[in-house]
Amino acid sequence: MRKSGVAEKYVRVVQDMYERSRTVVRCAVGQTEEFKVEVGLHQGSAPSPFLFAIVMDQLSEEVRQESPWTMMFADDILICSESREQVEESLERWRFAPERRGMKVSRSKTEYMCVNERDGSGTVRLQGEEVKKVQEFKYLGSTVQSNRECGIEVKKRVQAGWNGWRKVSGVLCDRKISARIKGKVYRTVVRPAMLYGLETVSLRKRQESELEVAEPKMLRFSLGVTRLDRIRNEYIRGTAHVGRLGDKVREARLRWFGHVQRREKRETGLSPEGPLVLLTMMAEMVFCSLTYFG
């Protein structure tokens, strides 16, 4: 905290919080006896996320690169390189820096993925142990595929929409509630789950149609309308006051584009190296995700 420029009075407050701290564990059959907490941060404490961010910032200062080559979120690290050799070198640096200070890399959660792979026979090793290779992995709620497709992510968005619909199906399928209210509930609960992260996904017509097909089904179930009633989807949307999902995706893209344009010039997407990075990622690229634990 001192290295990060935190005022000394706040450092002393945190020290007092962690001095001689004790806790108990509650479960269905009661609670345990008190025991000392000597390692790690307090669970559920408001300052804990900020303290962890400060710790990770200091631990990774000497090995961290600029985005997109290194991206961090809590204890999950994403490393991007142009070859397996570079990934192994980066992995070793990221392993050595925290482990000499008491943190370890979770080998079971560390995995790598190649994009536009030319030679599939190579491997990535960490201290002689082979790192698991995957064709897809989930990072920050989105699924990245080695073939640069987004079909899996679209299917998961559709599934997330249905999960949200089921949670509020008691309201959406209630015949006593008006179609306007049902449409408002749908736009508030279900649609955000389907649209999450899609503003940065390059959708093809086939994948956009998957989203377009799923939405009318949900609306028909909500309004008690079947195909046998021969009512067009446009009328269903108008009754529920719900616009086309494809139009909402395009609106989200334009909104996101506006955010990007308003960023500072040093941001990765607006820097002079930005186009070069995008071109490099079209060639062979290796992504590696690793997780730390105390």
Query: pLDDT digit string (tens) for 7-55?
Result: 888 888 888 888 888 888 888 888 888 888 777 777 778 888 888 888 8
Which one, of 89, 59, 88, lies nearest residue 74 by Cα?
Answer: 59
Report the pLDDT value the prediction gives residue 110, as an integer from 0 to 100. Answer: 83
DSSP secondary structure string for all residues of 155-181: HHHHHHHHHHHHHTHHHHT-TTS-HHH
Record the pTM: 0.69
Query: pLDDT digit string (tens) for 190-211?
Result: 999 999 888 888 888 888 889 8
Question: How far is the C-alpha of 88 from the C-alpha of 235, rounded, in Å?
Answer: 57
Q: 165 pLDDT exceeds 90?
A: yes
| Residue scoring higher pLDDT (230 or 56) | 230
Whole-number average pLDDT of the chain: 81
Q: Which residues contact 32 (CB under 8 A, 6 or more apart)?
A: 24, 25
Q: Which of 68-72, 269-273, 276-280 has the highest mean pLDDT?
A: 68-72
Which one, of 291, 294, 290, 279, lies nearest residue 115 by Cα?
Answer: 279
- Mean pLDDT along residues 221-240: 88
Instruction: Round the CA-based radius of gyration of the chain to a whole number and report it.
Output: 24
Query: pLDDT digit string (tens) for 283-294?
Result: 444 656 666 555
Q: 270 pLDDT exceeds 70?
A: no
Query: pLDDT digit string (tens) for 103-140?
Result: 777 777 888 888 777 766 778 888 878 888 888 888 77
154 within 8 A of 211, measured Cβ to Cβ: yes
